[in-house]
Amino acid sequence: MIEETGYVLSVEDGFADVETIRTSSCSSCRARHGCGHHAIAQVSTSNRMRMKAIDPLSVKVGQSVVVGIPEDTLLQASFWMYLIPLLGLVVGAVLPSLWNDESNLAVFSSIIGFVVGLLLARNKSKQESNNMDYYPKILRIEPPKERHIPLVMTP
């Protein structure tokens, strides 16, 4: 289960809008200097993400919650959104080269293959839009953190 902590913004019939703040562990990673993810995380200005999550716990607005999504669900979604368009691109580039040596045709068909892959991914996304397995779920409510304001005495 992939988990993230967030705050409840609103609640409606079994769902809650939750805002999470993206955290990055790039600063503690040894490979951060050669990693593209680290560069993107530094450039990105928005660390907040808003999501609609299944609410089995009847949370209230303002509560800190932990939302989660199963790893296999994320893997399936990633397969459809990344791998299918990429396979369309590769197949579109390779097939014309088997029959013809013209590179313009290979470029054109690779673009067509990529677009077909994107359309397949979009169609799958529309089919699964009401599948509750793809929605994050509120797993638990975090206890409120004590807010301690230090008292400073001046002489």
Residue-wise pLDDT for 87-106, tens only, equals 999 999 998 888 877 788 88
| Token pair of 30 as six digits | 């040894």
| Token pair of 131 as six digits | 């599948």
Report the mean per-residue pLDDT for the chain. 83
| Token pair of 150 as six digits | 């230090």
pTM: 0.65
Q: From 47, 63, 45, select the one nearest 55 (Cα to Cα).
A: 63
Q: What is the 3-state secondary structure (H, E, C) of 30-97?
A: CCHHHCHHHHHHHHCCCCEEEEEEECCCCCCCCCEEEEEECHHHHHHHHHHHHHHHHHHHHHHHHHHH
pLDDT above 90: residue 83 = yes
Please report, for the chain, the start and end positions of each structural domain, with discontinuous segments joined by +: 2-141
Residue-wise pLDDT for 38-67, tens only, equals 555 666 556 778 889 999 998 999 899 999
Q: From 20, 69, 66, select the one nearest 46 (Cα to Cα).
A: 20
> How far is Cα of residue 57 from the mean position of the Cα atoms in its chain?
23
Q: From 57, 58, 52, 64, select the one nearest 132 (Cα to Cα).
A: 52
Long-range contact set of residues 130-134: C-beta below 8 Å, sequence gap at least 24: 132/54, 133/70, 133/73, 134/69, 134/73, 134/77
